[in-house]
Amino acid sequence: SVSSALNKAHHLRRLCLSGNCQLNGHDVNAVLTRCSTLTELNLSFEGRSNFVLALPASPWNCPHLVHLGLRGMGLENLERLAGCVPSLSSLQHLDLSWNLLRDEGASKLAHALPACASMQSLALHCNGFGPSGAGSILTALRGMSALTSLDLGYNDIGNGPDPLLALAACSALRCLRLDECGLVGGAAVAGLAGGWTGVRALNLSDNVLGGSGAWVLGTV
């Protein structure tokens, strides 16, 4: 088993277990409590939206973890993850895409994110956020000055806060993905008009920006 194999693998730096549908909570617990030298861990389960693997409730022993991939692992992971995130002080890259966290999950994650001062990239693609959930995430990100990449694509931001204006404090932000977020008209991208943004790659595809949105983009 994975847990048995890890008994003598105390010096691992990078570990990829993505796509392993036979993993259980005991195996994952072994990874998170015995591999204290890990800097990169990928437990993602690509393409299986109904796959759920509950993360262990016991404390994680990953003080050096920089990259954490948890794509497509199911909503049940979030509450325990949110409780562990503050202890991951070295975390710089977090991928939680395709988990359908929804607004409740967004709120829990938002409370944990401010502890990750070193966070550089955050992927939350396709999590079923509504304006409320997206708003809580955007508010939490205001103090994360190291953030360079954010993916909120395929979440219904809709008539919530202008994401570009809300992210004005993220001065290091260079890559922003907001495709199919229900953004409508120029008001949805009004933050661009202020000239604050250092974003170099911006994805606004499959929204309804219309003429007013195009006008705002043309003034940047």
What distance in Å separates the CA atoms of residue 121 and residue 67, rounded to the nearest whole number?
9
Distance (Å, whole) CA 115 – CA 105: 17
Q: Residues 6 or more apart from 211 whose CB is under 8 A from it?
A: none
Neighbours of 178 (CB within 10 A): 25
Joined together, the tokens standing for residue 90 give: 């070295």
Q: 198, 132, 113, 114: which is closest to 164 by C-alpha?
A: 198
Token pair belonging to 166: 């809300």
pTM across the whole model: 0.87
How far is Cα 134 from Cα 112, in angstroms, rounded to an integer? 15
What tens-digit pLDDT sequence spans the chain (220 residues)? 566 666 666 678 998 888 776 666 677 777 777 778 899 999 887 655 445 556 666 667 888 999 999 888 765 556 667 777 767 889 999 999 988 888 988 998 998 888 888 999 999 999 999 999 999 999 999 878 899 999 999 999 876 667 777 787 888 999 999 999 998 888 888 877 666 668 889 899 999 988 888 887 777 6
| Tokens 């709120």, residue located | 107
User: What are the two backbone dihedrals, phi and then psi, of residue 194, each rounded to the nearest 5 degrees?
Assistant: -75, -10
